[in-house]
Amino acid sequence: MPTRTSTAHWQGSLKEGSGEMRLASGAYQGSFSYLSRFESGEGTNPEELIAAAHAGCFSMALSNILGKAGVTPNSIETNATIHLDMPAGITKIELSTVGDVPGLDEADFVKYAEEAKANCPVSKALAAIEITLSAKLG
């Protein structure tokens, strides 16, 4: 399996400093700061990137599970919300997904979504954190 790399560069103190995060693929590069992480400043933050990774991983895992069940989704839209409560850190992740899956009923969609939540690699990596799921067909 491939390995993936990202980098971060930080300059200055925690509150007055600033940094930049980059994906090795070049697909994303963005600034971050104390304000963007803990308040409402411009830029991104590590938790936002974790949320994006989790939403993407979950959506792909769900698509794979649905395919193995013999159905192909038209689309899967997933939102991941991360709760950062200092000093505890990340305390909860809420996944919310809506699928457009012809030929599938709501109960089966929810069942497959729960399986994806339990088995996507990012969920497994974050297993020490409470992860909730809301799943429905749209």
Q: Residues 62-114: pLDDT tens digits? A: 999 999 999 999 999 999 999 999 999 999 999 999 999 999 999 999 999 99
Number of domains in the chain: 2
Domain assignment of residue 1, yes or no: no
Same domain, 50 and 34: no
Q: What is the dihedral angle through the alpha carbons of 32, 33, 35, 40, rounded to the nearest 10 degrees?
A: 0
Same domain, 30 and 85: no
Its domain, for residue 124, covers 46-137
CATH number at residue 101: 3.30.300.20
Domain assignment of residue 17, yes or no: yes
Q: What is the pLDDT of residue 2?
A: 87
CA distances from residue 86 to 17, 47, 83, 117 in whole angstroms, order as listed? 19, 13, 10, 25
